[in-house]
Amino acid sequence: TYRPIICIFTYLPIIYLPIIYLSTYLLGIWLSVSQGNFATFSPTFPSLSAANLVIAIGSIVMVTAFLGCLGAIKENKCLLLSFFVVLLIILLAELILLILFFVYMDKVSESAKQDLKEGLKLYNTENNVGLKNAWNIIQAEMHCCGVTDYRDWYPVLGDNVVPDRCCMENSQDCGRNSNNTNLVWKTGCYEKVMTWFEDNKHIPGAVGMCLLIIQILGMAFSMTLFQQIHRTGKKYDA
């Protein structure tokens, strides 16, 4: 009686698994290429980035989906129940993190700004060429300077001195004339990057919504199949 459910639950994950992994992987690459430089600015979490987070979440969901697929193929209640519980935990964790993010958004924003300003101090230090290049690229491409504004560079490089990449028209030592604010970008890079994410939020939002729908469908299918197997008296197979 539950053969159609088994077929749906068995082959649906096989179809959507590559889609999940490919979409999250491509989203991770897109974030990495588009804003990967900005992720290296933090001295506290140098390897933490939205790209890594997206790829990690996609991988976890993919492994979990394999668990459910195996449970459906073997008609194993233990695997199906484990699949349901894991998806439920992931879903609750996502909701909690989302709520905490919005509740503490201002604190997170201020903490991020302070952390980035600490990273400015490493601009001209040895073994931090990547950070220096990242700041140069982001300031040149996004037409911004510093974290909140160009004056963030003064404690690092000296009064009225900013990197040359802050100049509207880049030339050697042009950053030494930052007292003339008509020559340098006034807007901070943090604001620019946040604006960029705001303008492109539909992309990760769409991927997140697809993952949410798939998670809910997976939970519904697994519990339905679990109940059907339970009614037939099938035991917990090894």
Domain that holds residue 112: 1-237
- Give the per-residue pLDDT at 4: 61
Residue 60 contacts residue 90 (beta carbons within 8 Å)? yes
The chain-wide mean pLDDT, for the chain, equals: 75
- Give the per-residue pLDDT at 25: 60
- Give the per-residue pLDDT at 47: 44
- Give the per-residue pLDDT at 144: 92
Which residue pairs, CB below 8 angstroms and at least 24 apart, start in 4-7? Answer: 5/221, 5/224, 5/225, 5/228, 6/72, 6/73, 6/75, 6/225
Neighbours of 17 (CB within 10 A): 17
- Give the per-residue pLDDT at 175: 82
What is the model's pTM? 0.59
Task: Give the number of domains in the chain.
Answer: 1
Query: How do residues 59-94 score in pLDDT, each as one tens digit?
Result: 776 777 777 777 777 778 888 888 888 888 888 888
- Give the per-residue pLDDT at 5: 58
Residues of the chain with pLDDT under 50: 14, 35-36, 45-48, 235-238
Residue 43 contacts residue 119 (beta carbons within 8 Å)? yes
